[in-house]
Amino acid sequence: MRRYFPIVLIVWAITIIGAFSLNLYVLRKHSESLVQSKSEGFFKLLVATLQWHAGHEALYVPITELSQPNLHLVHHDRRDVITNFGDSLTLLSPALMTRQMSEYAKENNIKWFHITSLNPIHPENAPDEWEIYALHTFQEEDDRAFEKMTNSDSVIYRYMAPLFVEQSCLICHAAHGFNIGKLRGGISINTSYEKDYLSQTSTSTGRLVIIYLLICIVGFFLLFYIELLTKRHRLAVEAKHDELQDFVAAKDKFISVITHDLKTPAANIASLSETLRVSFDTLSEADRKNCIDMLVESARTHNNLLNSLFDVSRLRLGHIQCNPERLDIRKLTHTVLEQTKLQAQQKHIAQINQAGEYYAYADKNMITTVIRNLVVNGIKFTHQGGQIVIKTEKKEEDIIISVTDSGIGIADEKKDRIFGVDSDKSTSGTANEAGTGLGLLLCKEYVERHGGQIWLESEVGKGTTFFFTLPLVNSN
């Protein structure tokens, strides 16, 4: 997923933006639908009022400055009447009533509407350009016109529905050439909002922004979390792959050791044994002793090789358990030096124990093997008359154990791979001692099992010091 993660983020962002835009569009359309529905309801109320007026055939109002006799009804025989009380009344046509209602509604900010026609009787009812266009589109009673218009500071929704001539309309309009079913005009209704009408008329917009913002944040969090899990899984797979590669390298090393190093001492044992069997009586005492010494050395090398192979294979297969306990490091190093005393004496090498009184929490067998391998390694590469020194040092919560020899040292190009399973075949010692090449690998594995580190410092011709750490415990 690492390669495609930026693409996934972009796709997610585009999806959220697209979904938000779609919802905002639906919200706007819903708002417009509400406006249209309210306008439709208002139109029906006006039509019902007109029908109520027409149902009474004639509606009279007092003659006032606002309600003057309708000049267009001059031929109406009952346009003006006088009541028994002497009040003068005039006939109020439905169109005039609607216009007066419109003016009253406009003055009181109720609703702006306008009754109009393509051939208006009253000039005040003349249509504007949009109403003319709408009237030309009307063919049936169900036809409607609805449009959103925007100016600098407001948004106006314009709604218009047609009015067709009915029987009751002929009372006023028959003289003007109108027939039943003919389009006589329409009523337009305007609904105006401020420029930010959506945020003012619906709290849904703000909620929508918050919801999508939360979805976006949660989505990004989940994507990053999935990427983190994927990365951890990838690193775990890579670690397992490296471990497998290491295991394969170790296997190849084992095969190399078995086919080369193991064959050499085995061949020596067979050859020396055959020599002693065939020529024992003819050999001198010195030759016999030399053959036996060589036979013992080959057997020892053979045995050490098998033990190293056995330990490494068991460790890699998980058959060696780490059982840590409280260890007296000075006592442990003393025991190891006693075990290697004979080998050191054969090369007249002095073994010096300068370990302090420290205690570590570690597996006794593993750490004994580590120190012994490092001491034996030092003896192997130290000339006659040299020395091996073991020291200890406390550093924070660890104890550092060092094994220093005065031997031949290690070249820089070999330092980085000396603990690896893919290192070169073991180098012969100063007295041509054979080795397995697995001792330092085993040391590294054992130390790391305890959470410690192992490293070296060396200078060619002056000697080598191996260091490793263990967890320190209280001496009490």
| Predicted confidence (pLDDT) per residue in 380-410, tens digit | 889 999 999 999 999 888 999 999 999 888 8
CA–CA distance, 163 with 43 (Å, rounded to integer): 11
- Which has the minimum average pLDDT: 112-116, 194-198, 319-323, 404-408? 194-198
Q: Where are the domains of the chain?
A: 5-55+93-202, 321-476
CA–CA distance, 204 with 440 (Å, rounded to integer): 72
**Average of per-residue pLDDT across 84-90:** 83
- 276-305 pLDDT tens trace: 888 888 888 888 888 888 888 778 777 766
CA–CA distance, 331 with 356 (Å, rounded to integer): 10
The burial class, CB within 10 Å (0-12 / 13-18 / 19+), for 68 is exposed
CATH topology of domain 321-476: Heat Shock Protein 90 (3.30.565)
The residue with greater pLDDT, 153 or 405, is 405
Cβ 168 vs Cβ 55: under 8 Å: yes
- Which has the minimum average pLDDT: 12-21, 181-190, 375-384? 12-21
The dihedral formed by the CA atoms of 390, 302, 296 and 288, expressed in degrees to the nearest 10: -140
- Which has the minimum average pLDDT: 30-44, 72-86, 177-191, 440-454? 72-86
**Average of per-residue pLDDT across 113-136:** 87
Tokens representing 283 are 């050999």
Predicted local confidence at residue 421, as pLDDT: 57
Arithmetic mean of pLDDT over the chain: 80
Predicted local confidence at residue 198, as pLDDT: 47
Predicted local confidence at residue 199, as pLDDT: 47
Q: Is the pLDDT of residue 435 over 60?
A: no
- Which residue from 190, 216, 218 is spatially nearest to 113, judged by alpha carbons? 190
Tokens representing 137 are 């589109």
CA–CA distance, 377 with 468 (Å, rounded to integer): 15
In the chain, what percentage of residues exceed pLDDT 70?
A: 82
Give the 3-state DSSP-derived string for the chain, with helices as H, strands as E and coil as C.
CCCCHHHHHHHHHHHHHHHHHHHHHHHHHHHHHHHHHHHHHHHHHHHHHHHHHHHCCCCEEECCCCCCCCHHHCCCCCCEEECCCCCEEEECCHHHHHHHHHHHHHHCCCCEEEEECCCCCCHHHCCCHHHHHHHHHCCCCCCCEEEEEECCCEEEEEEEEEEECCHHHHHHHHHHCCCCCCEEEEEEEEEEEECCHHHHHCCHHHHHHHHHHHHHHHHHHHHHHHHHHHHHHHHHHHHHHHHHHHHHHHHHHHHHHHHHHCHHHHHHHHHHHHHHHHHCCCCCHHHHHHHHHHHHHHHHHHHHHHHHHHHHHHHHCCCCCCCCEEEEHHHHHHHHHHHCHHHHHHCCCEEEEECCCCEEEECHHHHHHHHHHHHHHHHHCCCCCCEEEEEEEEECCEEEEEEEECCCCCCHHHHCCCCCCCCCCCCCCCCCCCCCCCHHHHHHHHHHHCCCCEEEEEECCCEEEEEEEEEEECCC
Predicted local confidence at residue 398, as pLDDT: 92
- Which has the minimum average pLDDT: 50-59, 139-148, 185-194, 466-475? 50-59
Range picked from 102-111, 204-213, 263-272, 459-468 for highest mean pLDDT: 459-468
Predicted local confidence at residue 333, as pLDDT: 93
Q: Is the pLDDT of residue 141 over 50?
A: yes
- 238-283 pLDDT tens trace: 888 887 887 777 667 656 655 666 666 778 788 888 888 888 888 8
- 326-351 pLDDT tens trace: 999 999 999 999 988 888 888 899 99
Beta-ladder partners of 192: 156
Tokens representing 426 are 């073991």
